[in-house]
Every structure is written in structure tokens, then in C-alpha cells.
């Protein structure tokens, strides 16, 4: 009966969605001693040969790694990832030039999505208080009673009743859909005009990487771009991001080859002409959506996390990292609130919402940086200046990309710190320009005086009286 009593007091949580964030969160909640049931719509990916879905590999950075560390998985994942120290820019004439992400010892990692999800599911299953239910699609849930309704693979309906519903069911979340029926729930969804298509650069004939391995390769072409991330099997998953109307204007082999010859000539031998034709013309570009909403919780009964709460465009490589960090943030808040959901969930919304909105805006901004700004001289000068100041003042001047990818500084603070840096730079440049102008005038004035006979030109006289007036008044 003691066991029964303990069981009755144990909090019972249902995690809807056994993707990346759901599987990680199951580990965190299991560590807290909750009884955890994970319901995943798909089959168990560990038993399938081919898994269809989104991007094959992902960039893992500091926030994601910290979250994996919390459940003892950082080492395993890092061991199976490939470090990327810099962007490798491919110019149209085939020239390649690296742009470091941070200092030489800072890097992001290319990891395999499927492997990551499998490792996380296997880890979750190790806890005896976690149970995984595959082929269970959430249909509805009741935020007053905690009752949930699923459909299994046979089409039968399955019921469950829990203390807390956690929605980690992705960008088209069913839990969120249910929340949208409640009053005062804000929701905003935007599709960008660009789609993406995945292509593949296989290993070279001698089974080596066909390009430098430890880079995130980018072909920035202003309006669109292609990127490539390395895989363990020495191939590169290559993703073309482009407006849908350009995708649809390419309908046959000739148009395709003309387009690639003009825009990405050095990639053709890497992708292989025949393979490129085959995969491009038989695939459809996929859309990208961004979702912002608020609040993330309903009373003490439900909370949404990961893409369900904040789908981002993928250009900062932060979607999963942010979703993983969600797990740490909620876990810390549950610690502070002594597992009282009524206190913890509103606090989670309060803390996390500003940060998720901030990274959502940054991700949108980075799309322009990746496809276009990296081509600009001014951008490269700013990057160099940022890195120099970072070396001189490592605590106060942390470049934006470094804050986002290599620290856990809150996302909204990354934005405010960057705004402060911009202000300091603008102010310094303005002051330098004024001082430069003044010393020019003073020198010119002295020169004319020295020559004596010459009449001073009007602009110099006007300039001198301006400076005099400024000094006096
Ligand atoms: P998902 O991974 O979508 O998982 C949701 C799970 O819920 C799925 O398993 C689904 O089957 C299940 N589900 C859905 N509906 C139901 C239901 N009704 N009932 C039960 N289960 C359900 N992020 C990075 O950090 N770095 C990157 O480099 C990066 N690159 C990206 C590139 C592209 C092209 C894209 C599209 C995204 C990229 N992301 C990246 C973002 C990243 O993929 C997502 O942020 C991450 O997958 C979110 O994880 P999640 O668990 O919240 O959602």
C-alpha cells in the first residue's frame, strides 16, 4: 500500500510527440521522478529502414549541448558529430573563402537527426518510469481534466488521463491547436516566400569528403543560397533555399543545368550532373513556417515546448538548440517552484516567451546575413572589428553570433547587447568623423594664414566660424 501511495503522489505526465525535444524532455522529467508516458504519432524510427522527414543533419551548438549534458548524452552525440569551425563561402567564380564563426576553438557540430532522435528515445526508455507509445496520434485533450484521446495504428481510440500534458508535437502541434480555442491565446504564423530542397554531395571516388569537411559550406547568391553540412559517411547534405517561384520556373533538365552553370558552377561536379537532374526534378521544395504564440501554458495542466511553441526559420541553426534549452529552463523553474505546476507553468511562459520571440526574429535576420550580407565588404569589416574587440574585451564585447551559438546568454539579451554595441560603434565613428573634420579645418586654416597673401575660400571661413561657434556655445 506504501507503493500505491507513492504512485498516487507521483506526478503523471504525458509527452505528446517523441521527436527531438519530446524525447529529451522525457529524460528530464523522468529524472524528476515523474511517471512519464510519451505518445508518438509515427512508428518507432529505430525499427524503420528509411525515415522520411525534415533535414537530414542539424547544427548543434552550445545550448543544445548543455541540455544533452544534463541527461548525460553530450559525449555520445559529440563523438558522432563533425565540428564546423567556419563558414566556407563559395563565390560564383569558384573561389572559396572561410569566415570563422568565433575564435579558433569555437565550433558548431553537424549531427545526424535520425541518430540523435534514436539515441534520445533509447535513453528515455532506460528510465523505468518512462513508457513510449508509438503509433499514437493525439486527437484531443481536455485542459480541465487532463483527459486525452489518441488514435492508434488500428484506428482504435485510446484514452489517458494525466496531471500534465506536454506538447512537443512540432510546428503543427495538436496540443497548440487545442489551446487556440481558449480565450486570450495569441497566435501568429508566417510562411516565408522561400522553400528548401535537399540534394546530396557523395564522397569522392577514393571515399573521402569531396570538399573541406570541417566547414558549413555556403553558396550565397543574395536572393537565394545553397548550403552543405558534412555527414559521418563523408557525404554532404546540401540544401537549396530559394523563392518558390524560382523553383517552379525550372521545369526541365536544360533549364536546371543552365541555372546551376550560372549560379553554382563549382557544385555541379560535386553533386554529379545526373544525380542532380534526377533528385531536383523528382522532388518538391518544402515550405518553411515561423510560429509565435503566447502563453505557452494552460493553468497547471498543459505546456507546449520546442517547435510546437516556437517554430523558427532554420537560418540560425537554433530551432532544435532552442527547443533543447526549453527543457533546461523548465527543469530549473520546476526546481525553484518545488514541482508546483500552478506556479511553474506561468513562470515558464514569462521567462521563455521573450527569448523564443527574440531567436525567432534573429533567425529571420540571419537569412539575409547568410545569403547576402556575407557578400558585402562592410559586413566583413564589421565582423573583423567585432572579433578584434572581442579579443580586447572578452567579457563586454561578445559578437552576436558568438552569444547565440557559443553561450547561454538569454536570446533577448543577445539582441539588446548587440543594439548597445551598434550604438557604441555609431557614436565612436561619429565622434571620430567630427574630430577628423575639425582637425582638417584647423590645419587648412593654419596653412592659409601661413601663406598670408591668399584669400581664404568661403567654405573654410564658414567651417571655421561653425567650429568657433560650437566651441563657444
Ligand atoms: P519535431 O522534431 O517536429 O518533432 C515533433 C514530433 O511530434 C514528431 O515526431 C511527430 O511525429 C510528432 N507528432 C506530431 N503531431 C503529433 C500528434 N498529433 N500526436 C503525437 N505525435 C505527434 N535546428 C537546429 O537547432 N539546427 C539546425 O541546423 C537546424 N536545421 C534545420 C533545417 C531545416 C531545413 C529545418 C526545417 C529545420 C531545422 N532545424 C534546425 C529546426 C529543427 O528541425 C526543429 O527545431 C526541431 O526538429 C524541433 O524539434 P521538436 O521535437 O520540437 O519537433
Tens digits of per-residue pLDDT, 319-329?
999 999 999 99
Say if CB 34 and CB 10 are below 8 A apart. Answer: yes
Residues with CB under 6 A from ligand 1: 16-22, 39-42, 54-55, 58-59, 137-138, 168-170, 174, 196, 306-308, 314, 317-321, 323
Q: How far is the CA of 55 from the centre of ligand 1 (A)?
A: 9
**What ipTM did this prediction achieve?**
0.99
Nearest CA to ligand 1 atom 47: 320
At 447 the pLDDT is 79
pLDDT at 24 over 90: yes
Q: How far is the CA of 113 from the centre of ligand 1 (A)?
A: 10
Nearest CA to ligand 1 atom 18: 138
At 399 the pLDDT is 94
What value does the mean pLDDT take over residues 137-166?
97
pLDDT at 37 over 60: yes
Say if CB 306 and CB 170 are below 8 A apart. Answer: yes
Model pTM? Answer: 0.92
pLDDT at 445 over 90: no
* φ/ψ of residue 133, rounded to 5: -120, 110
pLDDT at 431 over 70: yes
In ligand 1, the atom with minimum distance to the C-alpha of 306 is 52
Tell me the pLDDT band of 404, cut-offs 50, 70 and 90: very high
Q: Which of 14, 15, 16, 17 to mutate to test the pocket of ligand 1 (most atoms within 8 A of CB)?
A: 17
pLDDT at 53 over 60: no
Q: How far is the CA of 169 from the centre of ligand 1 (A)?
A: 8
In ligand 1, the atom with minimum distance to the C-alpha of 173 is 15
Give the separation between CA 272 and CA 38, rounded to whole angstroms. Answer: 42
User: Tens of pLDDT along 295-304?
Assistant: 999 999 999 9
Q: How far is the CA of 120 from the centre of ligand 1 (A)?
A: 14
> What is the share, in percent, of the chain residues with pLDDT greater than 70?
96
In ligand 1, the atom with minimum distance to the C-alpha of 137 is 19
Q: How far is the CA of 19 from the centre of ligand 1 (A)?
A: 6
At 6 the pLDDT is 64
pLDDT at 434 over 90: no
At 142 the pLDDT is 97
Q: How far is the CA of 307 from the centre of ligand 1 (A)?
A: 6
pLDDT at 66 over 90: yes
Q: How far is the CA of 332 from the centre of ligand 1 (A)?
A: 23
At 453 the pLDDT is 56
At 7 the pLDDT is 65
Amino acid at each position: 500500500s506504501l507503493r500505491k501511495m507513492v504512485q498516487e503522489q507521483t506526478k503523471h505526465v504525458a509527452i505528446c510527440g517523441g521527436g527531438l525535444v519530446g524525447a529529451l524532455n522525457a529524460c528530464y522529467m523522468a529524472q524528476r521522478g515523474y511517471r512519464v508516458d510519451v505518445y508518438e504519432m509515427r512508428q518507432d524510427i529505430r525499427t524503420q529502414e528509411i525515415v522520411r522527414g525534415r533535414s537530414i543533419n542539424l547544427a548543434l551548438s552550445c545550448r543544445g549541448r548543455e541540455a544533452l549534458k544534463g541527461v548525460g548524452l553530450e559525449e555520445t552525440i559529440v563523438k558522432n558529430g563533425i565540428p564546423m569551425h567556419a563558414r566556407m563561402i563559395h563565390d560564383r567564380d569558384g573561389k572559396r573563402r572561410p569566415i570563422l564563426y568565433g575564435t579558433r576553438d569555437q565550433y558548431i557540430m553537424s549531427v545526424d537527426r535520425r541518430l540523435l532522435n534514436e539515441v534520445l528515445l533509447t535513453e528515455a526508455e532506460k528510465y523505468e518510469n518512462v513508457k513510449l507509445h508509438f503509433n499514437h496520434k493525439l486527437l484531443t485533450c481536455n485542459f480541465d481534466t487532463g483527459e486525452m484521446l489518441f488514435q492508434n495504428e488500428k484506428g482504435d481510440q485510446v484514452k489517458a488521463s494525466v496531471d500534465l500534458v506536454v506538447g512537443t508535437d512540432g510546428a503543427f502541434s495538436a496540443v497548440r491547436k487545442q489551446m487556440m480555442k481558449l480565450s486570450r491565446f495569441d497566435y501568429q504564423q508566417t510562411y516565408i516566400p522561400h522553400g528548401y530542397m535537399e540534394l546530396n554531395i557523395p564522397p569522392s571516388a577514393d571515399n573521402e569528403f569531396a570538399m573541406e569537411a570541417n566547414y558549413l559550406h555556403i553558396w550565397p547568391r543574395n536572393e537565394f543560397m545553397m548550403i552543405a553540412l558534412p555527414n559521418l559517411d563523408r557525404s554532404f547534405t546540401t540544401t537549396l533555399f530559394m523563392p518558390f517561384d524560382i523553383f517552379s520556373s525550372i521545369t526541365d533538365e536544360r533549364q536546371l543545368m543552365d541555372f546551376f552553370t550560372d549560379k553554382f558552377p563549382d557544385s555541379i561536379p560535386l553533386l554529379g550532373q545526373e544525380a542532380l537532374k534526377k533528385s531536383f526534378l523528382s522532388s518538391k521544395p518544402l515550405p518553411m513556417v515561423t510560429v509565435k504564440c503566447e502563453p505557452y501554458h494552460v493553468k497547471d495542466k498543459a505546456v507546449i515546448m520546442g517547435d510546437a511553441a516556437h517554430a523558427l526559420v532554420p537560418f540560425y541553426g537554433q530551432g532544435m538548440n532552442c527547443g533543447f534549452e526549453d527543457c533546461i529552463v523548465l527543469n530549473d523553474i520546476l526546481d525553484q517552484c518545488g514541482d508546483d505546476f500552478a506556479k511553474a507553468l506561468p513562470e515558464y511562459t514569462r521567462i521563455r516567451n521573450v527569448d523564443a520571440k527574440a531567436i525567432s526574429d534573429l533567425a529571420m535576420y540571419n537569412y539575409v546575413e547568410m545569403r547576402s550580407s556575407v557578400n558585402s565588404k562592410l559586413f566583413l569589416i564589421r565582423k573583423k572589428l567585432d572579433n578584434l574587440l572581442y579579443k580586447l574585451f572578452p567579457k563586454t564585447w561578445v559578437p552576436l553570433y558568438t552569444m547565440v551559438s557559443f553561450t547561454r546568454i538569454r536570446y533577448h539579451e543577445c539582441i539588446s547587447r548587440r543594439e548597445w554595441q551598434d550604438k557604441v560603434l555609431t557614436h565612436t565613428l561619429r565622434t571620430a568623423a567630427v574630430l577628423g573634420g575639425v582637425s582638417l579645418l584647423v590645419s587648412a586654416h593654419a596653412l592659409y594664414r601661413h601663406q598670408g597673401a591668399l584669400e581664404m575660400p568661403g567654405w573654410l571661413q564658414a567651417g571655421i566660424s561653425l567650429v568657433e561657434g560650437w566651441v563657444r556655445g
